[in-house]
Structures are given as structure tokens and as C-alpha cells.
């Protein structure tokens, strides 16, 4: 039994689905079900007795303590987080509450539970904290990629709150001996991603004939990681990672945002052609505040220590992703709520062609 937090969100749900598909044991799945947590992501597990869903907050210490005592998990995988830069700019308090204070309360409850385990169980227990490359700040075009020892330099309320949570996890290992692991990943894409993020936003807008908004000049660079590869990397770290260590997880796919959008448009032209090329819908909008120019991951540590490398190229992963959204339009329709429309207006209102 493992306990997964945030397991109804994009990455968490993919992880739970992959974990159970590979028959690695039952999962207790704790999720608060905020706007991006969606039980439809887990519809395939509706009648699966190995999946136990609990609606709740990682900041609810009493609930966490109850779940730990009831299910006696051998590991915690912590995905629970507010995770979008734009939302953190407009409402930073939620990010501090969940990512900092929520992580603190979770760590406290886990520390008490772990301390009470028998020696053999204590030695086998793991707390894996899932984080982001954004904690490292921004790179210039010729700077070396982020390594696990790159100094933290977060530039948004989101990345600052994740940096704080990373530091708390590290401190609980060095102060209390809690057997932790931390992963810092690059930009994920794939099935079940809420359409506020670039790739599903572009797919959704294109299919509806709406403008495809690109921040600034479109030359901000990200390393793109297919979510299935991210899940396999987390499993590798959980099973083989050295306690107390951090592992960077990257997709080996650095691309400018405008090139990502043009690739998606070309795939849509092929798979669902319209009266004009989808790229004709591209517009440029005012850049967001504190927009980091480039992220890049040096993933040599996880490759050398754990023999993990991504299986998907960007070309194979993005094709799978576009096909998934085309085949799952009912899922898309259900997640596009009034709140999402308000978010679009706030962040992408008033563009220029």
C-alpha cells in the first residue's frame, strides 16, 4: 500500500493509473478536488478495489494521521500542490497555504507515523516529494542546464512556494532522519492535463477556432517531458533512489513555445483538418510578469544512478497527446467550467496578432 497525495490531478492521476496498471500494489489516493483535481481522470478505476479515494487536504493533520494509521502505507508520493504560475501571480496566498503550510503539516504527520514504525518498516519507508525545475530560476540561451546542485532562485510565487516545500523536505531528512526523496521535473504534457497549460490550451482553442495566445515573442524555452515518462522516473526513484537525494527528471526536449504551438498546429492539420491552417490562429499577447526565459534539465544523475531515460521523443509524445485530446472531447467539455473561462479572460484578454 502507498499513499498518493494530489492523485486526481494531471500528473498524480497518470501516476496512479500507471502504478495500478503495472500491478505494484494498492493505492490510497488523497485529493482536495480543487479546480484541477478531477475524478473523471480516474474513471477507469471506479470499480477497482485496489484504488481507495479520499477527498481531503494535506493540511488536515487529523485526516492524514487517520489515513496513516488505518492503511499503514510503505511510502508517500506527494503530488499535492497548487501548480500554475499565472494563478500564483493573481492569487499567491493559496500557493503558500498548500505548497508550504500543507507540506509542513503532511511532513509532521508522516514523521510521527514513521517514528512509530517497527525498525524494519522504518528502514523501508519512503517519502517522495514531487517538485519542479522552476525552483532553479531562469537560464540564459547559452547557460548550462540545471543540475541537482544548482542554487535555488525562484522568480514567481509558485516557484517560491515549491522551493520552500523542497527545503522543508530536505530539513526533515537532515534534522529528523525522515527517509525522503525529491524529484524536480521539467514541463509535463500528456493526457488529462487541465487546459490552462500551454499544450491543451492550444489544442482546445484551435479545435474551437479561437485565437492561439502566445506570451511575449514566443521564444521562451522549456524542456518538455511526456507524463508517462515522468511516472516511470518517479517509480525508479521510489524503488532505487538514495535516501536524502534529489533527482532531476527531464525529457531531453528543449523547445521554444512558438515551436511547440506550431508543432501542435501541424498535427491538428493532419489529424483534424480545418478550412485554414491552425497556425493562422496564432496571436501574441502581453508577456506575463516575471516570465522565466529558459529552463533546461541535466538528467545525467538519474540516468547514471538509476538507469532511467525518457522513452518518448517530443515528436512521439506530442502525437499521442493530440490524439488523446481528439478522442476524449467529452472529458474536455466537462473540465471547461465557468472558472476556467474567467481564468482565460484574466490572463489572455486583449492580444495582438
Question: Could you give the residue numbers annotated as active site?
Answer: 133-134, 158
Q: Which residues contact 69 (CB under 8 A, 6 or more apart)?
A: 113
CB burial string 31-44: b at 16+ within 10 A, e below: bbebbbbbeebbee
SS3 annotation, the chain: CEEEECCCCHHHHHHHHHHHHCCCCCEEEEECCCCCCCHHHHHHHCCCCCEEEEECCCCCHHHHHHHHHHHCCCEEEECCCCCCHHHHHHCHHHHHHHHHHHHHHHHHHHHHHHHCCCHHHHHHCEEEEEEEHHHHCCCCCCCCCECCCCCCCCCCHHHHHHHHHHHHHHHHHHHHCCCEEEEEECEEECCCCCCCCHHHHHHHHHHCCCCEEEECCCCCEEEEEEHHHHHHHHHHHHHHCCCCCEEEECCCCEEEHHHHHHHHHHHHHHHCCCCCCHHHHEEEECCCCCCCCECCECCHHHHHHHCCCCCCCHHHHHHHHHHHHHHCHHHHHHHCCHHHHHHHHHHHCCCEC
* Pairing, β 187-189 against β 180-185: unpaired
Closest to 236 measured CA to CA, from 59, 18, 6, 10: 18
Q: Which residues contact 235 (CB under 8 A, 6 or more apart)?
A: 18, 19, 22, 24
Amino acid at each position: 500500500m502507498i499513499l498518493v497525495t494530489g492523485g486526481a490531478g494531471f500528473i498524480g492521476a497518470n501516476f496512479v493509473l500507471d502504478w495500478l496498471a503495472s500491478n505494484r500494489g494498492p493505492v490510497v489516493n488523497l485529493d482536495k478536488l480543487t479546480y484541477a483535481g478531477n475524478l473523471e481522470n480516474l474513471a477507469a478505476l471506479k470499480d477497482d478495489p485496489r484504488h481507495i479515494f479520499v477527498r481531503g487536504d494535506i493540511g488536515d493533520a487529523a485526516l492524514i494521521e487517520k489515513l496513516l494509521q488505518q492503511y499503514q502505507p510503505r511510502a508517500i508520493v506527494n503530488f499535492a500542490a497548487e501548480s500554475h504560475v499565472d494563478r500564483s501571480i493573481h492569487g499567491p496566498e493559496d500557493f503558500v497555504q498548500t505548497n508550504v503550510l500543507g507540506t509542513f503539516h503532511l511532513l509532521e504527520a508522516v514523521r510521527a507515523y514513521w517514528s512509530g514504525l517497527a525498525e524494519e518498516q522504518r528502514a523501508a519507508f519512503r517519502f517522495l516529494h514531487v517538485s519542479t525545475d522552476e525552483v532553479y530560476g531562469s537560464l540564459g540561451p547559452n547557460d548550462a542546464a540545471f543540475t541537482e546542485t544548482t542554487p535555488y532562485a525562484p522568480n514567481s510565487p509558485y516557484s517560491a512556494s515549491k522551493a520552500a516545500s523542497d527545503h522543508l523536505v530536505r530539513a526533515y531528512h537532515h534534522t529528523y532522519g525522515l527517509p525522503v526523496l525529491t524529484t524536480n521535473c521539467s514541463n509535463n504534457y500528456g493526457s488529462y492535463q487541465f487546459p490552462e497549460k500551454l499544450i491543451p490550451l492550444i489544442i482546445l482553442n484551435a479545435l474551437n477556432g479561437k485565437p492561439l495566445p502566445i506570451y511575449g515573442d514566443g521564444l521562451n524555452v522549456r524542456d518538455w517531458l511526456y507524463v508517462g515518462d515522468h511516472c516511470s522516473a518517479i517509480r525508479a526513484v521510489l524503488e532505487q533512489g538514495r535516501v536524502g537525494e534529489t533527482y532531476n527528471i527531464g525529457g531531453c526536449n528543449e523547445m521554444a513555445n512558438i515551436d511547440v504551438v506550431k508543432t501542435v498546429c501541424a498535427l491538428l492539420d493532419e489529424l483534424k483538418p480545418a478550412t485554414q491552417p491552425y497556425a493562422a490562429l496564432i496571436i501574441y499577447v502581453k508577456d506575463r510578469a516575471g516570465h522565466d526565459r529558459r529552463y533546461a534539465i541535466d538528467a545525467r544523475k538519474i540516468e547514471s544512478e538509476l538507469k532511467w531515460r525518457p522513452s518518448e521523443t517530443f515528436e512521439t509524445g506530442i502525437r499521442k497527446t493530440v490524439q488523446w485530446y481528439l478522442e476524449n472531447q467529452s472529458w474536455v467539455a466537462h473540465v471547461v467550467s465557468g472558472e476556467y473561462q474567467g481564468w482565460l479572460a484574466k490572463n489572455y484578454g486583449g492580444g495582438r496578432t
